[in-house]
Homo-oligomer: A and B are copies of this chain.
Amino acid sequence: MRQGLRLGVDLGGTQVKMALVDHRGRLAAQAAVETVKNPRRLVAAMKAAAQVWFHKRLLGTGVGVAGDIDSARGVVRVSPNLGWRNVPLKKMLKSAGFPQPLFIDNDANAAAWGAFHVELKGKSDDLVVLTLGTGVGGGVVLKGHLLHGVTGSAAELGHMNVDPRGLRCSCGNLGCLETFLGKDYLLASARREWARRGRRWPKGMTPFHLAQIARRGDAAAKAVWARAGSALGVGLGNLINIFNPDTILLCGGIAGASGLLLRSAAPGIRRAFATPRRAARIRVAANTRHLGVVGAALLVE
């Protein structure tokens, strides 16, 4: 990674985070704008907030976007969060004067790339990253390279099937890992658990609260995390058998409940073969707050 600053952009459904990031992944400056769905207006707003930086000798710009990204051409094929289809983001940012070269990638890939450099300091031969948040994303770094596949769509680990008779996922299918661990699914699962026990569902419940009360011994909350953890375990067992990584890193808001999750994940993890299982450390990212924007910036190598 060359010394110097690059511009990182984490283009989310509600907010665009931007930052100047150095080669070690440290933030030198930050800005944010609200997300508007019109691509032209959004790029204009991003430029207005970031162009104060354009005069610096930046090494380039990296952008992470949730969705199906053609990273080779810099096109957002589909982003359900943004309601975008075939938006030539790279071209638009180039026209707007964003520092070149420009790299566009899936947000979970960017987070995995950031985790590889910042959390693991590049010291992983084969790394699998799960981002646990509203959705469940994935990124895989093999021998120092992001796994992209042939259309840039690889590592959609959240849509690995862990139960063919499971719930319908936002992606249209049944029983994806995301239907057990995505924020809204988790809360829906809790709500059903509360109903089953004839308990009143408290307003404003969040995964954070759900973890708190589970830790204090609440049986319903514990059952919810156990179910989610058990599915996570099946997913982790698969990932160990498939990639034989030295590290699986859990990131994102829900990873804060990893203690609760991993307890129930143990049987699933034990499904993996002994040698790769022993070789795989399962870790929780220490600081996931800026991983998206930092990882995006570090796409500029």
Could you list which residues of chain A lie within 8 angstroms of chain B, going by C-beta atoms? 68, 77-78, 125-126, 142, 147-157, 159-164, 171-174, 176, 230-231, 234, 237-238, 241-246, 268, 270-276, 279
Contacts and interface: CB of A to CB of B under 8 A. Distances in A.
Contact of A279 (B150, B176, B246, B274): B150
A244 B68 contact: no
A152 B275 CA distance: 9
Given A142-B142, A171-B273, A271-B173, A279 B160 contact: no
Contacts of A174: 271
Copies of this chain present in the complex amount to: 2
Nearest to A163: B164
Given A153-B241, A161-B234, 4 more contacts: A150-B245, A153-B275, A163-B163, A173-B270
Contacts of A159: 241, 271-273
A171 B240 CA distance: 14
Contact of A242 (B157, B173, B176, B246): B157
Interface centre among A147, A155, A157 (most CB of B within 10 A): A147
B243 A151 contact: no
Contact of A162 (B149, B164, B172, B268): B164
B275 A77 contact: yes
A171 B274 CA distance: 10
A285 to B, nearest CB: 20
B156 A271 contact: no
Contacts of A150: 125-126, 244-246, 276, 279
A245 to B, nearest CB: 6
A244 B279 contact: no
